[in-house]
Amino acid sequence: MNKRDFLHGLLAASFGGWLSASEAQVVIRVAPPPMREERVPSPRRNMAWVPGYWDWNGRRYVWRAGHWVKERRGYRYRGDKWVERDGGWHRERGGWDRDGDGVPNRMDSKPNNPNKN
């Protein structure tokens, strides 16, 4: 490990998280606050609602309000969420999913197959 990598890891750890080299994501030791209730606006033509979520800014959680994005026909939007594993909190980013199984197509061994098991 070189000095730069060590200092980078030390800095990240001092803010309550650390960088996981295998996943290249920030792992937080503090659980996110409870989800906020948002009033979902009336549907808009050709638009999809992206729900709000808690984001990590390097020091603390900050709320990112829900918003509209252009719809992708044949896809469903999966919102961001935090998952506890390996002694920390990992953010699973939201995104478009074609088969509705909650697994991003780029990571899915059988994408677009609604009958997979």
Long-range contacts of 38-43 (CB under 8 A, 24+ apart): 38/65, 38/66, 40/66, 41/68
Domain ranges of the chain: 3-107
pLDDT of residue 56: 94
Instruction: Assess whether pLDDT exceeds 70 at residue 17.
Output: no
Tell me the pLDDT tens digit for each residue of 23-78.
Answer: 456 789 999 999 999 999 999 999 999 999 999 999 999 999 999 999 999 899 99
pLDDT above 70: percentage of residues in the chain: 68
DSSP annotation of 111: T
| Predicted local distance difference test score (pLDDT) of residue 104 | 67
Residue 17 burial (CB count, 10 A): 20
